[in-house]
Amino acid sequence: MANSSGNGPARRASDRGRYGRLSRERVLAAALALVDEEGLSALSMRRLGAELGVEAMALYRYAASKDALLDGLVEALYLELEERLDAGPEAGGRPGSGRPPEPRGPEGDGAVRDRLHRIARATYDVCLAHPRAVPLLATRMLAVPLARRPLAVLRNHERVLALLRESGLDEARTAAVFRAFTAWLLGYVSVEVQPVVDAPDEPDPAFRLGLYRMPAQELPRLRETAPALAAPGGPEGLEAGLDALLDRFA
């Protein structure tokens, strides 16, 4: 039993905060909201504990380390993606099941494209809803081996791979298309959400984009193209690139 001298076991930090008892879902939701508002640099166990009204030590029951918390944010993004994909019968799985679509037999190229487009567009929408968390989709994937990724991420991989195999592709071709699809999708959304504008309140485009910071002689093409880069490509650009990619493998 602990005693007042401090020689007994350390006091267990309470996990009852200002919003009631914690859960993993509540911790991850609060972490994602903090990143949405202030960026990844603001996220720490201490700051997150303050947001939830608990000691930082209480959070380690739900995320064993800062890296585990970051992986949890990736999980939260993919769970949101899963919810979007499972929202309608066209997803091919039970709504709210949290499972990839069940195999439905061989499909033509048009049906496969439609379903890949739906996955890509849902991913795009999730990323634009949480742009400050998007870098984690690259950094944590580089740091975490395949089998150690969150289950929601692996289910998304399974969803795409099953769709490609159902279309009649062999294993090698499926792997090639999967890599290309993933690279285009995550690359596109990463470029889409990266900051380009230097001073949002400036009405003059040159000052708004900070073109005066770029050496005119060294970077003429970049200065010329910067206004177009500042405008989002939108889902149309995502879909056009995806069709070009699929045409390559058709």
Token pair 């499926």 in the structure block, residue: 174
From CA 196, how far away is CA 231, in angstroms rounded? 9
Q: Is there a single domain that holds both residue 46 and residue 98? A: no
pLDDT tens per residue across span 76-95: 999 999 999 998 544 444 33
Same domain, 83 and 188: yes
Other CB atoms closer than 10 Å to residue 203's CB: what's the count? 7
Same domain assignment for residues 81 and 189: yes
Side-chain-side CA neighbours of 2 within 13 Å: the count stands at: 6
Q: How confident is the model over 161-203, as pLDDT tens digits?
A: 999 999 999 999 999 999 999 999 999 999 999 989 999 999 9
The answer to whether residues 210 and 200 touch, using CB atoms and an 8 Å cutoff, is no
Q: Clarify whether residues 143 and 177 are in a common domain.
A: yes
Structural domain count, the chain: 2
Which residues contact residue 123 at a Cβ distance below 8 angstroms, ignoring those fewer than 6 apart?
A: 81, 185, 189
Domain assignment present for residue 221? The answer is: no
In a domain, 185, yes or no: yes
111 burial via Cβ count (<10 Å: 0-12, 13-18, 19+): middle
Residue 159 belongs to domain with CATH number: 1.10.357
Mean pLDDT to the nearest integer, 225-232: 92
- Do residues 84 and 55 share a domain? no
**Residue range 134-156, pLDDT digits in tens:** 999 999 999 999 999 999 999 99
Longest Cα–Cα distance of the chain, Å, equals 74
Say if residue 131 is in the same domain as residue 250. yes
Same domain, 81 and 40: no
Please identify, among 64, 87, 103, the residue that sits at the C-terminal boundary of a domain.
64
Q: Which residues pair with 58 in a beta bridge?
A: none
The answer to whether residues 117 and 187 belong to one domain is yes
Cα torsion angle, 86, 90, 91, 94, sign: positive
State the amino acid at position 163 in one-letter form.
L
Q: How confident is the model at residue 21 (pLDDT cuts 50, 70, 90)?
A: confident
The CA distances from residue 190 to 8, 29, 49, 122, 181, in Å, are 50, 22, 29, 15, 14
DSSP β-bridge partners for residue 16:
21
Range of the domain at 42: 15-64
Q: Does residue 81 share a domain with residue 41?
A: no
Sequence-ordered strand ranges (E) for the chain: 16-17, 20-21
- Looking at the structure, tell me whether residues 149 and 54 fall in a common domain: no
Same-domain check for residues 88 and 37: no
- Whether residue 126 is found in the same domain as residue 26: no
- The pTM assigned to this predicted structure is 0.82
Q: How confident is the model at residue 14 (pLDDT cuts 50, 70, 90)?
A: low
**Token pair of 136 as six digits:** 């984690």
